[in-house]
Structure 1
Amino acid sequence: MEYGDDLAVAAGSDAAVAQRRKKRYHRHTPRQIQQLEATFKECPHPDENQRMHLSRELGLEPRQIKFWFQNRRTQMKAQHERADNCFLRAENDKIRCENIAMREALKNVICPTCGGPHTNDDYFDEHKLRMENAHLKEELDRVSSLTSKYLGRPITQLPSSMQQSLSMSSLDLSMGAAAAAMGGPSLDLDLLSGGGSSSGMPAAFQPVSDMERPMMADMATRAMDELIRLAQAGDHVWAKADNGGCCREVLSVDAYDTVFGKPGGSRGPDVHVEGSRDSCLVLLPAHALVDIFMDSSKWADFFPTIVAKARTVDVLVSGMAGRSESLVLMQEELHVMTPVVPTRELCFLRYCRQIEQGLWAVADVSVDLLQQRDHAAASRYYGAPPQARARKLPSGCLIADMSNGYSKVTWVEHMETTEGDNKNPINPLYRDLVLSGAAFGAHRWLAALQRACDRHACLVAASMPHRDIAAGVTAEGKRSMMRLSERMVSSFCGSLSASQAHRWTTLSGPGSSGGGGDDVGVRVMVHRSTDPGQPNGVVLSAATSIWLPVPCDRVYAFVRDENTRSQWDVLSHGNPVQEVSRIPNGSHPAASSISLLRGLNASQNSMLILQESSTDATGSQVVYAPIDLPAANVVMSGEDPSAIPLLPSGFTILPDGSGGPGSGSLVTVAFQILVSSLPSSRLNEESVATVNSLIGTTVEQIKAALNCSTTTH
């Protein structure tokens, strides 16, 4: 046999060994872990009959059951030993420090009678100090024993964060409070201290420890079971509600408490329950939707109008191909695109399960890691922690594969919110929209999902016909233009969040005092722009929200029409604009599209305007940004548009949530301007006055054009 044949045989042998090792590897599902953990708590050493029973019930081999219990006992023993070692090491260090302190004290002792070095052991009795230390240690052991009996676990397993908080002095707390009080925004407009940064989540959770994982799996399994029951429940749990002429399903809270055995009476008087269900068909296969939902980056990109930020804290179970039986811990911020509605910050478990062929379920449930150290408190996941303003109860969706690449999605949204946040309340203009559940309900999620799927389908179908007024646009040019517009919309949505990371300052103007009226005053925010695809320098964002007694579709048609743009666009100086090219951006091209506009003013021939208009059943938006002619040529030729700088402005249009005959529109107008290309420059009052005048003039011209200049809400 040739040398090459020997290598082939050896390689085949190694591959076979690797394959056998790979086959022996098995990852238990959350349901299996839940049952095994429950049995382990009752009986850490099951006999053969018990192992056989578990084997039949869980679909595992008896050897797998045996090895799991052996590994779990070893793991518990190692954890206890590590905890004890840490405790003993800390005690050893403490005694060593005491010895050093006593030796230093003995060196520096002065006799109180003569003022010379002390030679009498009566004044500083080291033996007396050691006796006192021994007494204190006995007292510590006694308190630790009582505490461990009360908590049901050794005191050495208390979280380090609790020990750190107990050791923090009152001086540290008062200084921290003072610093926080001094850190508020001021209209000196030296706002470059980090407020307005678009990166990072406000409060980052740490990855889950080994002791917390079984409890997390139990929570996820319970949430999945409840989600499936809610999604399939009938009229005894879900009631029909008429919201603005649209009939939707809302949760009957009393019926839910009865059916699911929840302690409804334990809710505080300031707790508001939002529960809704809806279903629709979307143009995307089920497995593709699951991939998007389980990836926090894709999740945020797919829902920019709802998800301000999202990140994966930890992957507890990777599952099969990252899908079935996957369990991840995620953190996100949900927003309404206006600076006057605070974001909802959530940390939750997301669990995916393939129920049967072509049917998937994705379940969410909030989790507070600060309470997870106590298993008894963690099992009561239903109750919202007092510090949380929003908590997601078992929610999610069922995704069923249909024919021709479609999926039927049944969405359940169930959340408890706590009112009374005096530091960042909901503005009265948006109160009806938020408290009615329309702002974060299932209907809005599905409308955004449908729009995103339609947009994705248009991006994939590069050969879809489109109207081109000027020169021909290739399929590559079309995709490049859509990618550039997608980045523009994502940047615009992210710039409007009212999160803790965005420090908006209210300028003097109508509604700025927090009273009534039909607008809320102009809010400004400034940040250093260093992200790719944005102009480098200091960027000033300004926005205001107004109420108009006009239907949403009428406002949307007015601001997106190039023929009426000169009536509100101050920067066009009253000159008309012409549409150069239009690309459909959804299943209804007449309602959703991406356009290139050109001003007919001779001095503006070198500038074009990229504009995306989109609408769905829950609201509309028009986003635009100026681009120069060379950048437009890059896009039209199909080149990579990621290096083209964009500074988007635009409008969001939402129903006011009243649902009555006099209902109108909530319109947010937002602008972004580059103050200086030097990152070290400061913002001046002239720039603020300019953007304040820009927004004020735009609002007044829109009101005048729609014949509602003097109307108040």
Structure 2
Amino acid sequence: MRETINKACCLNCGMATTAKDGSTMAEEQQLRIENAKLKAEVEKLRTVIGKYPSGASTTGSCSAGNDQENRSSLDYHTGIFGLEKSRIMEIVNQAMEELQKMATAGEPLWVKSVETGREILNYDEYVKVFSVENASHVRPKRLIEASRVTGVVFLDLPWLVQSFMDANQWKEMFPCIISKAATIDVIYHGEAPNRNGAVQLMFAELQMLTPLVPTRDVYFVRYCKKLSVEEWAIVDVSIDKVEENIDTSLVKCRKRPSGCIIQDKSNGHCKVIWVEHLECQKSSVHTLYRTIVSSGLAFGARHWMATLQHQCERLVFFMATNVPTKDSTGVATLAGRKSILKLAQRMTWSFCHAIGASSYRTWNKVTSKTGEDIRVSSRKNLNDPGEPLGVILCAVSSIWLPVSPTILFDFLRDESRRTEWDIMSTGSPVQSVVNLAKGKDRGNAVTIQTMKSKENSMWVLQDSCTNTFESMVVFAPVDITGIQSVITGCDSSNTAILPSGFSILPDGLESRPLVITSRHEKSNDNEGGSLLTIAFQIQTNSSPTAKLTMESVESVTTIISCTLHNIRTSLECEDG
């Protein structure tokens, strides 16, 4: 079995290159692939919606470059889907006012939970304060999710604002939550260079890092406004007129006024108040994730804030020039450090992109010989130098474990315990030759681990990430010669890498509803464990025209089954 698995997992990673032209071409090629997919989605949306009214923009923005064109300024834009520009501005201004009140109000609008310490929206008070009509008669099958959280992020305010207004940057900032994002139409570009007053129609597909939770498609107008010298606000709101023109089967979620208030606190950090207020269709969710989704935690403000803080901290550590020696072992130069961190970031982004329920993927359910439910999906890589060419097979399984997320994360990221779960290590000792910190928490680090055996030596690049909401351990075998050149500072854009790894979430059983109302709500007083998603990817054939074989499927499902068994055994929860 091991011989079969080892054969299936040979990745033939590409070499790094120092040629700037090659790097640029690779990056442009990746952007073209992504932009082509997004443009196809936008065109499909336009086909469903119908023709734009006379004078409206007919070229959607699917990339950062297109956003710079002030092609649809408020001066001559006649509106979207029949809405006049004055009505659009009226809607977003009302949404901005509501966001500011939702962000700053205390009791009785927001009530602090005694059990969890989190704030809960008093929905009865909300209806009264904002004169909201009773939507239960209009949308009886919709659920309301509302949450608010405050935090500090270490990044400049202008950079934050730009990241929210650019669809590509926004998606890259939240790779574990956003699987697709596009600016469909720019209504007003805003004042240069800070985008004050910008208004744009956007689309996003929201995901969890598992195929078991359906994605949420949301269409909304985003409005960016400078409130004062040191304070900005970004509000999202779905517009009924847009939804009326879209096939109702496509509308899974709509945004009531949501967004964030960003306050510049100088010294390179900002205070952020995040409000998330969603109205979602009821949908079938796997029992494993039912609690964390129905409680509003999965797509709530806490998740967004934790991810934002993590990504901002990662960027600060990436840009740092005065890195202590203890935070950068095994790499002699700053260029080498940045090159390794950049490769690890691409690896983790690819992992997030590969394992969700996005419409990019088609998942088929298989049952392993040991009884685990496993989802498999295959794709063909024709010309992307960032991963091996040919047929790629991804297998994913999600389970519940009766251990805390912290214990599980520390176990999986610890190289001294890797042999306890990794069947590819063949019991050989594992050592870290590179260890780069990318956050204040010691769990946020990039390592290169060596596995030596009698037959050969294998190097593994590992990116471990943790925040107050979720954790990930992502890894991939790397070509030794190629990664050594990256360590010296060579560009990593053409380094082919195929990540596998783990996503860890709290199971949500300790949570409480994030909306209170006059209706009786049930609650669960049990403490929770962890939701673990494990994913393995293998290159089954170097030819893109090859057919997927059952032997390959059995190989990757065997890896999943053996790994899960080893994890349960090591953590003494075989019956989990």
Q: Which residue of structure 2 lines up, in the alignment, with residue 445 of structure 1?
A: 304
Structure 2 counterpart of 1:399, from 250, 262, 266: 262
Structure 2 counterpart of 1:680, from 531, 545, 552: 545
> 1:701 and 2:573 equivalent?
no
Q: Which residue of structure 2 lines up, in the alignment, with residue 32 of structure 1?
A: none
Q: Secondary structure at the match of 1:467?
A: helix
Identical residues among aligned pairs (%): 37
CA-CA distance at 1:469 after TM superposition: 9.0
Q: 1:466 to 1:667 in 2, by over 3 A?
A: farther
- Provide the C-alpha distance between the structure 2 equivalents of 1:299 and 1:246, rounded to a whole number of angstroms: 30
> 1:200 and 2:37 equivalent?
yes
CA-CA distance at 1:217 after TM superposition: 2.6
- Provide the C-alpha distance between the structure 1 equivalents of 2:330 and 2:250, rounded to a whole number of angstroms: 58
Q: Which residue of structure 2 lines up, in the alignment, with residue 641 of structure 1?
A: 492
Q: Which residue of structure 2 lines up, in the alignment, with residue 609 of structure 1?
A: 460
Q: Which residue of structure 2 lines up, in the alignment, with residue 288 of structure 1?
A: 159
When the two chains are superposed, the root-mean-square deviation of aligned CA atoms in Å is: 2.2
Q: Secondary structure at the match of 1:539?
A: strand
CA-CA distance at 1:465 after TM superposition: 1.5
- Provide the C-alpha distance between the structure 2 equivalents of 1:680 and 1:476, rounded to a whole number of angstroms: 38
Can you list the C-alpha shifts for 1:436-470, whole angstroms capped at 9, x where unaligned?
11101111111001100110000010331243897
Q: Secondary structure at the match of 1:563?
A: helix
**Superposed counterparts of 1:567-606, under 5 Å:** 567-588=420-441, 590-605=442-457
- Provide the C-alpha distance between the structure 1 equivalents of 2:298 and 2:422, rounded to a whole number of angstroms: 29
- Provide the C-alpha distance between the structure 2 equivalents of 1:236 and 1:472, rounded to a whole number of angstroms: 54
Q: Is the 8 A contact 2:189 2:195 kept in 1?
A: yes
- Provide the C-alpha distance between the structure 2 equivalents of 1:594 and 1:387, rounded to a whole number of angstroms: 39
> 1:279 and 2:150 equivalent?
yes
- Provide the C-alpha distance between the structure 2 equivalents of 1:398 and 1:266, rounded to a whole number of angstroms: 32
- Provide the C-alpha distance between the structure 2 equivalents of 1:547 and 1:297, rounded to a whole number of angstroms: 33
Structure 2 counterpart of 1:365, from 224, 227, 237: 237
Q: Is the 8 A contact 1:335 1:341 kept in 2?
A: yes
Q: Is the 8 A contact 2:370 2:561 kept in 1?
A: no
Q: 1:486 to 1:271 in 2, by over 3 A?
A: same
Query: Residue 506 of structure 1 aligns to which amino acid in structure 2?
Result: K
Query: Residue 341 of structure 1 aligns to which amino acid in structure 2?
Result: V
- Provide the C-alpha distance between the structure 2 equivalents of 1:397 and 1:510, rounded to a whole number of angstroms: 48
- Provide the C-alpha distance between the structure 1 equivalents of 2:240 and 2:393, rounded to a whole number of angstroms: 36
Can you list the C-alpha shifts for 1:62-84, whole angstroms capped at 9, x where unaligned?
xxxxxxxxxxxxxxxxxxxxxxx
CA-CA distance at 1:396 after TM superposition: 0.2
- Provide the C-alpha distance between the structure 1 equivalents of 2:528 and 2:120, rounded to a whole number of angstroms: 21
Q: Is the 8 A contact 2:237 2:257 kept in 1?
A: yes
Higher relative contact order (CA 8 A, sep 6+): 2
Q: 1:511 to 1:342 in 2, by over 3 A?
A: farther
Q: Secondary structure at the match of 2:455?
A: helix
Q: Which residue of structure 2 lines up, in the alignment, with residue 250 of structure 1?
A: 120
**Superposed counterparts of 1:90-489, under 5 Å:** 200-201=37-38, 203-204=41-42, 205-206=45-46, 209=56, 210-212=78-80, 213-214=84-85, 215-241=87-113, 246-264=116-134, 265-320=136-191, 321-367=193-239, 370-371=242-243, 388-419=251-282, 421=283, 425-467=284-326, 471-489=330-348
Query: Residue 532 of structure 2 aligns to which amino acid in structure 1?
Result: V
Q: Is the 8 A contact 1:611 1:622 kept in 2?
A: yes
Q: Which residue of structure 1 lines up, in the alignment, with residue 27 of structure 2?
A: none
Q: Secondary structure at the match of 1:556?
A: helix
Can you list the C-alpha shifts for 1:196-252, whole angstroms capped at 9, x where unaligned?
x9872584234783343513333222211211111111212112125xx64111222
Query: Residue 296 of structure 1 aligns to which amino acid in structure 2?
Result: A
Q: 1:511 to 1:545 in 2, by over 3 A?
A: farther
Q: Secondary structure at the match of 1:324?
A: coil
CA-CA distance at 1:672 after TM superposition: 0.5
Q: Secondary structure at the match of 1:613?
A: strand
Query: Residue 689 of structure 1 aligns to which amino acid in structure 2?
Result: E
Q: Which residue of structure 1 lines up, in the alignment, with residue 530 of structure 2?
A: 665
CA-CA distance at 1:352 after TM superposition: 0.2
After TM superposition, the structure 1 stretch with the greater mean CA deviation from structure 2, 316-325 or 543-552, is: 316-325
Query: Residue 301 of structure 2 aligns to which amino acid in structure 1?
Result: A
- Provide the C-alpha distance between the structure 1 equivalents of 2:248 and 2:274, rounded to a whole number of angstroms: 25
- Provide the C-alpha distance between the structure 1 equivalents of 2:421 and 2:313, rounded to a whole number of angstroms: 30
Structure 1 counterpart of 2:471, from 617, 620, 623: 620
> 1:554 and 2:404 equivalent?
no
- Provide the C-alpha distance between the structure 2 equivalents of 1:345 and 1:432, rounded to a whole number of angstroms: 20
After TM superposition, the structure 1 stretch with the greater mean CA deviation from structure 2, 452-461 or 320-329, is: 320-329
Q: Which residue of structure 1 lines up, in the alignment, with residue 556 of structure 2?
A: 691
Query: Residue 274 of structure 1 aligns to which amino acid in structure 2?
Result: E
Q: Is the 8 A contact 1:575 1:600 kept in 2?
A: yes
Q: Is the 8 A contact 2:330 2:435 kept in 1?
A: no
Query: Residue 226 of structure 1 aligns to which amino acid in structure 2?
Result: E
Q: Is the 8 A contact 1:469 1:580 kept in 2?
A: no
Q: Is the 8 A contact 2:331 2:488 kept in 1?
A: no
Q: Secondary structure at the match of 1:687?
A: helix
- Unaligned stretches of 5+ in structure 2? 1-32, 47-51, 57-77, 511-524
Can you list the C-alpha shifts for 1:576-625, whole angstroms capped at 9, x where unaligned?
2101010001122x2210001000224332x3111011111111110001
> 1:527 and 2:379 equivalent?
yes
Query: Residue 257 of structure 2 aligns to which amino acid in structure 1?
Result: P
CA-CA distance at 1:312 after TM superposition: 1.2
Q: Which residue of structure 2 lines up, in the alignment, with residue 154 of structure 1?
A: none
- Unaligned stretches of 5+ in structure 1? 1-196, 379-383, 513-518
CA-CA distance at 1:701 after TM superposition: 0.7
Q: Which residue of structure 1 lines up, in the alignment, with residue 25 of structure 2?
A: none
CA-CA distance at 1:366 after TM superposition: 1.8
The structure carrying a bigger helix percent of its residues is 1
Q: 1:564 to 1:313 in 2, by over 3 A?
A: same
CA-CA distance at 1:322 after TM superposition: 4.7
Aligned residue pairs: how many?
Answer: 491
- Provide the C-alpha distance between the structure 2 equivalents of 1:433 and 1:233, rounded to a whole number of angstroms: 26
Q: Is the 8 A contact 2:464 2:474 kept in 1?
A: yes
The structure carrying a bigger strand percent of its residues is 2
After TM superposition, the structure 1 stretch with the greater mean CA deviation from structure 2, 223-232 or 353-362, is: 223-232
Q: 1:288 to 1:626 in 2, by over 3 A?
A: same
CA-CA distance at 1:273 after TM superposition: 0.6
> 1:650 and 2:516 equivalent?
no
- Provide the C-alpha distance between the structure 2 equivalents of 1:525 and 1:544, rounded to a whole number of angstroms: 12
| TM-score, normalising length: structure 2 | 0.81
Query: Residue 550 of structure 1 aligns to which amino acid in structure 2?
Result: V
CA-CA distance at 1:511 after TM superposition: 11
Can you list the C-alpha shifts for 1:544-568, whole angstroms capped at 9, x where unaligned?
0000001111100110000110010
- Provide the C-alpha distance between the structure 2 equivalents of 1:534 and 1:348, rounded to a whole number of angstroms: 34
Task: Select the structure of larger CA radius of gyration.
Answer: 1
- Provide the C-alpha distance between the structure 1 equivalents of 2:242 and 2:268, rounded to a whole number of angstroms: 43
Q: Secondary structure at the match of 2:289?
A: helix
Q: Secondary structure at the match of 2:367?
A: coil
